[in-house]
Chain A
Amino acid sequence: MDLELNDDQIDLRDNVRAVLARECPASVVRGVYESTGDASALRKQMVELGWPALGIPEEYGGLGMGFVEVGILAEELGRVSAPTPLLATVSQFVPLLVEVLRSAPTSKTGELLSEVATGARTGSLALAEKGRWSPDSVNTTASGEGDSVTVTGTKTDVLAGAEVDSFAVVARPTGPAHPADADRSDGLGVYLVERADAEVTASKVIDPALGLADVSFDRAPAKPLLTGDADGEIARAVEQAVVAMALHTVGACRRIFEVTLEYAKVREQYDRKIGSFQALKHRFADMYLAVEKANAICYFAALAVAEDDPRRREACHVAKVASGDCQSLLAEEGLQLHGGIGYTWENDLHFLLKRAKVADVLCGSASWHRARLADLLGLTVEVAP
Chain B
Amino acid sequence: MKLRFDEGTEAFRAEFLQWLELNRPSVEEMADDPARSSGHSPGWTRAWTRRMFDSGWLVPGWPPHLGGRNAGPLETLVYLEELNRAEVPRTTNPQGLGIVAPSLVDYGTEEQVEQYAMGLLRGELTACLGMSEPDAGSDLASLKTRAVIDGDRFVINGQKVWTSGAGYADFCFLFCRTDPDAPKHRGISIVLLPLNTEGVTVRPLREIIHPDYPDLSEVFLDDVVVPVSNLVGELNDGWKMAGGSLAHERSMVWLMSVMGVESAMAELLETAPGMMASLSPREQVIAADDIVGFYVETQCARALGYRGFARFVKGGNAPEQALMKMYASELRRELGRVTAQWHGGGALAVSEGRRSSLGLIEDYFATFGSTISAGSSEIQRNIIAERILNLPRG
Contact of A261 among B289, B382, B389 (CB under 8 A): B389
Partner of B288, one of A275, A288, A374: A374
- Enumerate chain B residues within 8 angstroms of A5, measured Cβ to Cβ: 1
Taking a contact as CB atoms under 8 Å apart, the answer to whether B3 and A293 are in contact is no
A242–B292 CA distance with the chains assembled, in angstroms: 18
Which residue from B272, B287, B303, B385 sits with its C-beta under 8 Å from A296? B303
Verify if A93 is at the interface (C-beta below 8 Å from B).
no
Do the beta carbons of A292 and B320 come within 8 Å of each other?
yes
Contact between B323 and A289, CB atoms less than 8 A apart = yes
B65 at the A interface (CB under 8 A): no
On whether the beta carbons of A285 and B292 are closer than 8 Å, the reply is: no
CB neighbours of A318 from chain B (8 A): 295-296, 299-300
User: How far, in angstroms, from A280 to B384 measured CA to CA in the complex?
Assistant: 12
Separation in Å of the B261 CB from the closest CB of chain A? 12
Contacts of B1 in A (CB 8 A): 2-6, 9, 68, 299, 303, 306
The answer on a CB contact under 8 Å between B272 and A379 is yes
> B378, A282: Cβ atoms under 8 Å?
yes
Please determine whether A2 and B310 come into contact, CB atoms closer than 8 angstroms: yes
Question: Is A294 at the interface (CB under 8 A from chain B)?
Answer: yes
Asked, given contacts A3-B307, A4-B1, whether A293 binds B300 with beta carbons under 8 Å apart, the answer is yes
In whole angstroms, what is the CA distance A383 to B285 when docked? 11
CB contacts under 8 Å to A, within B4-35, are: 4-5
Bound state CA distance, A293 and B5, in angstroms?
Answer: 21
User: A300 at interface (Cβ–Cβ under 8 A)?
Assistant: yes
Chain B residues with Cβ below 8 Å from A373 are 292, 295-296
* B285 proximity list for chain A (CB < 8 A): 381
Report the Cα distance A307→B2, complex, angstroms.
8
B384 adjacent to A288 (CB under 8 Å): yes
> Which among A284, A296, A380 has the highest number of chain B CB atoms within 10 Å?
A296
**Residues in chain A near residue B296, CB distance under 8 A:** 297, 318, 321-322, 325, 370, 373
Contact between chains at B299 and A4 (CB < 8 Å): no
Interface pair B5/A374, CB less than 8 Å apart: no
Main secondary structure of the interface of A (DSSP, over half): helix
- A377 touching B281, Cβ below 8 Å: no
Chain B residues 301-345 with CB under 8 Å of chain A are: 301, 303-304, 306-307, 310-311, 314, 319-320, 323, 326-327
Tell whether A180 is near chain B: CB-to-CB under 8 Å. Answer: no
- Of the candidates A2, A306, A321, A380, the one having the most CB atoms from chain B within 10 angstroms of its own CB is A2
A344 to B327, CA, bound (A): 34
CA distance A318 to B378 in the complex (A): 28
- Indicate which residue in B4, B287, B382 contacts A1 across the interface (CB closer than 8 Å): B4
Q: Which residue of chain A has the shortest Cβ distance to B288 in the bound complex?
A: A379
The interface bits of chain A over 261-275 (1 if a CB of B lies within 8 angstroms of the residue's CB, else 0) are 100110000001101
Q: Is B295 in contact with A296, judged by CB distance below 8 angstroms?
A: no
Q: How many residues of A contact B (CB 8 A)?
A: 50
Residues of B within 8 A of A383 (CB): 281
Q: Is the interface of B mostly helix, strand, loop or mixed?
A: helix
Q: A37–B320 Cα gap in the complex (Å)?
A: 41
Contact with A289, one of B269, B292, B293, B327 (Cβ below 8 angstroms): B327
A314 → chain B closest CB, angstroms? 8
> How big is chain B's contact interface, by range?
35 or more
Task: Decide yes or no: A300 and B303 within 8 Å by CB, A2-B2, A281-B391, A381-B285 being known contacts.
Answer: yes
Contacts of A370 in B (CB 8 A): 289, 292-293, 296
Question: CA separation between A294 and B386, bound complex, in Å?
Answer: 22
Q: Does B138 contact A (CB under 8 A)?
A: no
How many Å lie between the Cα of A9 and that of B1 in the bound state? 9
B394 at the interface (CB under 8 A from A): yes
Interface positions, chain B 325-377, Cβ under 8 Å from A, are: 326-327
Contacts of B303 in A (CB 8 A): 3, 293, 296-297, 299-300
Query: Nearest chain B CB to A6's CB is how many angstroms away?
Result: 6
A88 within 8 A of B: no
Q: Are A3 and B306 in contact (CB under 8 A)?
A: yes
Please state if A381 and B284 are interface contacts (CB–CB under 8 Å).
yes
A272 and B394 form a contact (CB under 8 A): yes
A379 touches B382 (CB 8 A): no
B201 at the interface (CB under 8 A from A): no
What is the chain A residue whose CB lies nearest that of B388?
A288
Contact between A281 and B301, CB atoms less than 8 A apart: no
Q: Counting CB contacts under 8 A, is B392 at the interface?
A: yes
Nearest Cβ distance between residue A382 and chain B, in whole angstroms? 8
- Contact (Cβ within 8 A) B289 A296: no
Known contacts: A2-B1, A293-B303. The answer to whether A278 contacts B382 by CB under 8 A is yes
Scan A343-381; emit 1 where CB is below 8 A from any B CB, else 0.
000000000000000000000000000100110011111
Residue of B nearest to A302 (CB): B1
Question: In the bound complex, do residue B276 and residue A379 qualify as a contact, i.e. CB atoms below 8 Å apart?
Answer: yes
A296→B304 contact, CB < 8 A: yes
Selected from A275, A309, A322, A381, the residue in CB contact (under 8 A) with B392 is A275
Q: In the complex, A1 Cα to B386 Cα: how many Å?
A: 31
- B91 at interface (Cβ–Cβ under 8 A)? no
Roughly how many angstroms separate A309 CA and B314 CA in the complex, as a whole number? Answer: 24
Task: Please tell me if the beta carbons of A293 and B310 are within 8 angstroms of each other in the complex.
Answer: no
How many Å lie between the Cα of A114 and that of B287 in the bound state? 49
Is B273 part of the binding interface, using a Cβ–Cβ cutoff of 8 Å? yes
* Chain B residues, CB < 8 A from A273: 391-392
Are A285 and B326 in contact, with the CB atoms below 8 A? yes
Determine the chain A residues whose CB is within 8 A of the CB of B380 once the complex forms.
Answer: 285
B393 within 8 A of A: yes
Interface status of B69 (Cβ within 8 A of chain A) = no
B interface residues, Cβ below 8 angstroms from A: 1-5, 269, 272-273, 276, 281, 284-285, 287-289, 291-293, 295-296, 299-301, 303-304, 306-307, 310-311, 314, 319-320, 323, 326-327, 378, 380-382, 384-386, 388-394
3 smallest A-B Cβ distances: which pairs?
A: A281-B385, A379-B288, A3-B307
A sample of 6 cross-chain residue pairs with beta-carbon separation below 8 angstroms, ordered by A number, consists of A276-B392, A285-B389, A297-B296, A297-B300, A307-B2, A377-B291
13 additional A-B residue pairs with CB within 8 Å, beyond A281-B381, A373-B296, A374-B292:
A1-B2, A4-B314, A265-B392, A284-B384, A288-B323, A288-B384, A288-B389, A306-B1, A321-B292, A321-B296, A322-B299, A377-B291, A381-B285
